[in-house]
Amino acid sequence: MKKYGLFKVILIILGLLVVTSIFIPGRDGDIAYIPIGDEAINFVQAFYYFFDTVVYLLVLGAFYGVLNLVPAYKKLLDNIAQKVKSHSKGFIFITAIVFAILTSLFGIDNCILVFVPFIISIILLLGYDKLVAISSTVVAMLIGFMGGIFTTFRDPNNYYGYSSVTIDELAGLDKYTNLWPRLILVILGIALLIFFINRHIKNVQEKKVKYELNDSDDLLVSEVKGDYKNIKTWPLMIILSLILIVLVFGYFPWNNLFGIEVFNNFHQNLLEFRFNFRSVFIVIGILLFLIIVWKFIKKKHFDSKDWVLNSTFLVIFLCVILSYIPLGFLDKFHDWFTAKNLTLNSIISNNLYALGNWSSLGSFMGIIIVLLVFTLVTKLIYRIKFDDVIDGFVEGSKRMLPAVFLMILSYTILICTYNNGLISTIITWISESSLGLNVVTTSFVSALGSLLHVDLYYTAAGVFSPILSAATDESLYSVYAMTFQSIHGLISIIGPTSFLLIVVLTYFDVPYTTWVKYIWRFVLMLLLLVILVLLVLSLI
């Protein structure tokens, strides 16, 4: 019963959407029913429209499925848990602060989600329950989003241009317009979250709660055993660090936000680099030299009888000789090779994007490629058998299937709502009524729209843009922007259609009803904080 709570709630929302469409006109002012058959069609279309989301979740599950086969991963988790055990609460609080700050500054919550299973596993090894683990990661991320300073998304007014904008910029404001209110919201939100988590931990210790979730039999790493003295964890630490660095640099829009052109210029120069015959030998020599360095790192010494090492030195020597000695037949071959005008983009791809522009690939394509590449790197470094990698890949993906199914149901709600346009009608009604658009009515519409639209881009296009169009007082645009962003994040903490919430609740087998019983008080306190910040902002 509890296991399928999210499924039932999402189905109820779908049913209510059908009934509502009978009474509320669509975007064009005519009654546009949403038949049950259309919902079924939209369910299938959701796989097409949001295929990258499906693949992302499956690859994320597969990545951890492969990591679970690596003893170094288990040792790394155990080492971290042992080192922070004496300050376990501090670790949880620092985790919440870091996740919130990363999301607030970079606005790449989907990228940061990659590390959530890793951190949650550590928190569970410290003896805390799943509710604490999810609160200190995902909820912290959503607080960072609510006060996101540089939260960006694809511009609804320039879809095919793939430009990223902040919510303030979409409203025609400067990106720093609501800087101080957002900073205050993030700081106070984090403080409130730490207070809430700490109180829950005390209640668990005093056995005052009935919904503690400390069973960990179904987790990726429930217990770490064995002698791992000879297992090196530093390569895995480097892999995880590189994933974070690559994703941050790849997805954060440096050029759009700050006009930083260095990544675009480097990317253009790199792809337009023209190969000639001698440059190929130089590249081969560099790669072989890196192989020698790697062998030295592993063996700590050079073996004079190592034929591979000696052969490598010989090839490097020949590459240098062939690159610089003026031989007639090589010059002719060099001229022929150069005439082919071979560039790096003709070898790799013309569709690669510079760092900071990866969102142009699609919301998740860059993350998918990075995870697949580093999965392969992990397999090579730790010498995992290919069959074992496939088994781990399949098992990890299977673990994500419930999240995929529920996300497709949520996207079905999005497609039905966005195509119908009933939210636009509701906004028009409110703006033309005696109530008008104010903080309260804008909060209501933002909450309803966030629940039904799921994705930030479609929520901005289907809710925030109509609010701006219906608003008559442009001086309140900053208040509307702050309201929309904070309410969208708030709904994502408790709403059954929230992407992040669906992923973690299904992946870690947390019943939705249990989550609501646990988090509703915090959401209420956070709502009061948001209202206070908005009231102060409206009075300035």
Assess contact for 58 and 400: CB atoms under 8 A: yes
**CA–CA dist 253, 436 (Å, integer):** 36
Would you list the domain boundaries of the chain?
5-266+359-539, 274-342
- Kindly list the distances between the CA atom of residue 326 and the CA atoms of 320, 322, 330, 331, 479, in Å, as whole numbers in the listed order: 12, 8, 8, 7, 71
Compute CA 312 distance to the chain's CA centroid, rounded to the nearest angstrom.
42
Could you read off the pLDDT tens digit of each residue along the chain, which spans 540 residues?
355 589 999 999 998 988 888 888 877 766 667 777 777 888 888 998 899 999 999 999 999 999 998 888 988 998 999 999 999 999 999 999 999 999 998 888 889 999 999 999 999 999 899 999 999 999 999 999 999 888 888 777 765 556 778 898 888 888 888 888 999 999 999 999 999 999 999 988 887 776 656 554 445 444 444 555 778 888 899 999 999 999 988 888 888 777 788 877 776 766 666 655 556 666 666 666 666 666 666 665 555 555 555 566 566 666 555 555 555 555 565 565 566 565 655 556 666 777 877 776 667 888 999 999 999 999 988 888 889 899 999 999 999 999 999 999 999 999 989 988 889 999 999 988 888 888 889 999 999 999 999 899 899 999 999 999 998 888 889 999 999 999 999 999 999 999 999 999 999 999 999 999 999 999 999 999 999 998 887 776
pLDDT of residue 42: 86
Q: Which helix (H) or strand (E) holds 412?
A: helix 386-420
pLDDT of residue 347: 57
Q: Give the closest residue to 509 by CA, choosing from 215, 199, 280, 155.
A: 215
pLDDT of residue 1: 39
Assess contact for 74 and 224: CB atoms under 8 A: yes
Q: Give the closest residue to 276 by CA, choosing from 322, 311, 226.
A: 322
Coil, strand or helix: which one is 354?
Answer: coil
pLDDT of residue 217: 46
CA dihedral sign of residues 376, 249, 236, 285: positive
pLDDT of residue 504: 95
pLDDT of residue 264: 76
Structure tokens that stand for 204 in this block: 């668990």
Read off the pLDDT of residues 294-325 as tens digits, 9 standing for 90 and up.
666 666 555 555 555 556 656 666 655 555 55
**CA–CA dist 22, 10 (Å, integer):** 19
Q: Give me the residue label for tokens 């289907």.
A: 462
pLDDT of residue 430: 92
